A and B are shown apart, each in its own frame.
Chain A
């Protein structure tokens, strides 16, 4: 396949970026999108130019590192895949492909296609955990009976890899799907109940503090999420937060 790539190039977080056009030839339709980017970078290095910076790690859809807005969609035109799982056969020979970084005030561009997603880390630090005694007397998790449907829903929520596609695709750059998945995966389990109120309040407050937008319930996040995280989690977080706000004493 021969392609034209229009890629966002930005030297650093303070520099003004712009889309730059590159022609690339001989791309295998069976290669992944990141392999195509590797090929481009090899070509650039051979020509003595700066390669395109982009995040990647596991390249099997579980680390949440890769983050490209491809042809107007987070992780490209395929569904339930990350950029690393996107294959070039989804594109046509001779096509022009736009590649941009996630766009959100809370995700500032560091370089080219790399954005700073540490806002998610700070939201997690605000309450996305279960405090456990690690002194050697930790109770076996299997000792606590958990209903199958609750366990399944908790697991589904826990499949969120924190890639930020929900923020990138939301017209408001809202992080509600991510935060709700993290609240839900713990709220659904008995181990998460002890800190449930504090967790919901603190994580939502941190989410707002980071500058993410409000949720308009458009459902775009659910469609573009590579793990298919459901909007049901947002409704659950709304319930958790509202009840915590009314009943919490802190």
Chain B
């Protein structure tokens, strides 16, 4: 079953963890840059312009990021299908909550919710960016008044309470996903020790709360100030 595509179960989990690590680092930098919008519109505008026009970011890191996201999603779905087929007849009575957390048992649900949110997020920000920069050919980053457009666009998007609510909900799912995913990725690459695993567990919980909470603060801040 598992070696049919030339990759063993451990190798698949290893690459799942690697893509997870990459996305964890990406999320941290994304949250950090977005948080600048709460403190300084000028700083947010200049960093956004740099990230949006730097060739290294646009043509090297962005394709890697896109691959990482779709690989993580595709492999997650593939593993879920395989796992379901490993137990074709379910138990009549089962108590999974007695021995494992809800987060660890429902990674596919929280993961798909985050991916559905990504569809909205791409529609809101990524596709308009591609349109302005690569179809209209406007790389200046300026609006009609001659100022940077990034902060203004951000505030405009969060004017809608439904959109803001959907973003907040998605970040809750992201938090639940990271609660298990962060420490699980270390286990999948073989890193576990009596000394460091409790630290990783605490660091993972801190990250899983701080980063999504940061995104929530940003969304709510701009909704209130829009």
Q: Do these two chains interact? A: yes
Asked if A159 is an interface residue, CB under 8 A from chain B, the answer is: no
User: Does the CB pair B92–A19 fall under 8 Å?
Assistant: yes
User: Does the CB pair A69–B91 fall under 8 Å?
Assistant: yes
Are A232 and B192 CB-contacts (below 8 A) given A103-B87, A171-B83, A208-B1? yes
Closest beta carbon of chain A to B11's beta carbon, Å: 7
> How many inter-chain contacts with C-beta < 8 Å in the A-B complex?
140
Asked if B3 is an interface residue, CB under 8 A from chain A, the answer is: yes
- Interface residue ranges of A218-249 to B (CB < 8 Å): 218-220, 223-224, 231-232, 234-239, 241-242, 245
Q: Indicate which residue in B10, B89, B180 contacts A204 across the interface (CB closer than 8 Å).
A: B10
A45 to B94, CA, bound (A): 30
User: Does the CB pair A105–B85 fall under 8 Å?
Assistant: yes
Asked if B107 is an interface residue, CB under 8 A from chain A, the answer is: yes
The tally of residues in B whose CB lies under 8 Å from a CB in A reads 43
B3 partner residues in chain A, CB cutoff 8 A: 205, 208-209
Interface size classification for chain A: 35 or more
Q: Indicate which residue in B86, B101, B183, B187 contacts A172 across the interface (CB closer than 8 Å).
A: B86
A43 to B98, CA, bound (A): 33
Q: Indicate which residue in A72, A207, A218, A245 contacts B9 across the interface (CB closer than 8 Å).
A: A207
Are A220 and B188 CB-contacts (below 8 A) given A172-B87, A205-B3, A214-B12? no
Q: Indicate which residue in A172, A209, A216, A236 contacts B184 across the interface (CB closer than 8 Å).
A: A216
Asked if A106 is an interface residue, CB under 8 A from chain B, the answer is: yes
Asked if A169 is an interface residue, CB under 8 A from chain B, the answer is: yes
Which residue of chain B lies nearest to A207 when distances are taken between CB atoms in the complex?
B9
Q: Indicate which residue in B9, B91, B98 contacts A100 across the interface (CB closer than 8 Å).
A: B91
- Interface residue ranges of A1-33 to B (CB < 8 Å): 6, 8, 19
Q: Indicate which residue in B9, B86, B95, B189 contacts A242 across the interface (CB closer than 8 Å).
A: B189
Q: Indicate which residue in A77, A232, A241 contacts B8 across the interface (CB closer than 8 Å).
A: A241
Q: Indicate which residue in A105, A204, A214 contacts B87 across the interface (CB closer than 8 Å).
A: A105
B92 partner residues in chain A, CB cutoff 8 A: 6, 8, 19, 98, 100
Residues of A within 8 A of B (CB): 6, 8, 19, 69, 71-73, 77, 98, 100, 103-106, 169, 171-174, 176, 204-205, 207-209, 211-220, 223-224, 231-232, 234-239, 241-242, 245
Known: A72-B91, A241-B10. 4 other contacts (CB 8 A): A69-B91, A72-B95, A105-B85, A218-B105
